[in-house]
Amino acid sequence: MEIGELRHRITFQKKNVTVNENGFEIETWEDVKTVWAAASHLHGREFYEAAQVQAEHTVKFTIRYVKGIEPSMVILFNDKRYNIIAIDNIKYKNKWIEIRGQEVMPSG
Q: Which of 38, 41, 85, 35 is nearest to 59 (CA)?
A: 41
pLDDT, averaged across the chain: 87
Decide if 108 is inside a domain. Answer: no
Give pLDDT, residue 95.
95
**How many structural domains compose the chain?**
1
- The tens digit of pLDDT for each residue in 31-77 reads 999 999 999 986 555 544 545 555 458 899 999 999 999 999 999 99
pLDDT at 89 over 70: yes
- Indicate the pTM of the whole model: 0.81
Q: Which of 41, 37, 101, 42 is nearest to 72 (CA)?
A: 101
CATH code where residue 97 lies: 2.40.10.270
